[in-house]
């Protein structure tokens, strides 16, 4: 897995853990939390870049502002989703379930690493079979030639 995928997985799991801890400690202050998350998602809209007069740079600033807004909104919404999911489903954070998920991820990683070598093995077997077939047909042709003479 790439580093970004691992960081995203860690981010989502930490959001789930926050929700589970809230549910476990009876800290249901979700209205205040919703307000704070809404404030965080408004931060991206408050970013303003100064105009430089160059169309290309101003266009890049617009793209950068939109990306920052997208990143902030998506992270806050993923955090909100994770906390809600963790609050409503604390059974997914028992030790057995987490170990089962980790075992599944390890098996998937091993399988994904074996796909390419298995493909090379299959290609090698096909090429070896073709080589053996050519050798046998050449020997048969040579024997027929000797028998005909």
pLDDT tens digits for 78-129? 878 877 777 777 777 776 777 787 788 778 778 878 888 888 899 999 999 9
Give phi and psi for 94, each to the nearest 5: -85, 160
Token representation of residue 22 = 């809230």
Which are the contacts of 33, defined by CB distance < 8 A and separation ≥ 6?
83
State the pLDDT confidence band at 45, using cuts at 50, 70 and 90.
Answer: confident
Residue-level pLDDT at 126: 94
Distance CA 144, CA 79 (A): 77
Radius of gyration of the chain (CA): 30
State the pLDDT confidence band at 136, using cuts at 50, 70 and 90.
Answer: confident
**Closest alpha carbon to 19 in 30, 9, 10:** 30
**Residue owning tokens 């205040």:** 32
Distance CA 12, CA 85 (A): 10
State the pLDDT confidence band at 148, using cuts at 50, 70 and 90.
Answer: low
The stretch 116-144 carries a mean pLDDT of 85
Q: Say what percent of the chain tops pLDDT 70.
A: 85
What would you measure as the largest C-alpha separation in the chain, in angstroms? Answer: 100
Residues in the chain: 149
DSSP state of 94: S
Asked whether the predicted pLDDT for residue 54 surpasses 70, the reply is yes
């Amino acid at each position: 897995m790439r580093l970004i995928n691992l960081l995203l997985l860690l981010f989502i799991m930490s959001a789930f853990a926050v929700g589970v801890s809230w549910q476990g400690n009876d800290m249901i202050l979700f209205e205040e939390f919703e307000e704070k998350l809404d404030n965080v998602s408004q931060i991206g809209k408050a970013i303003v870049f100064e105009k430089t007069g160059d169309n290309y740079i101003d266009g890049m600033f617009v793209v950068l502002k939109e990306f920052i807004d997208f990143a902030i909104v998506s992270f806050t919404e993923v955090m909100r989703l994770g906390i809600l999911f963790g609050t409503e489903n604390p059974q997914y954070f028992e030790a057995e379930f987490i170990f089962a998920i980790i075992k599944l991820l390890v098996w998937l990683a091993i399988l994904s690493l074996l796909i390419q070598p298995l493909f090379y093995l299959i290609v090698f077997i096909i090429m070896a079979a073709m080589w053996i077939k050519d050798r046998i047909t050449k020997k048969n042709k040579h024997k027929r030639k000797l028998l005909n003479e």
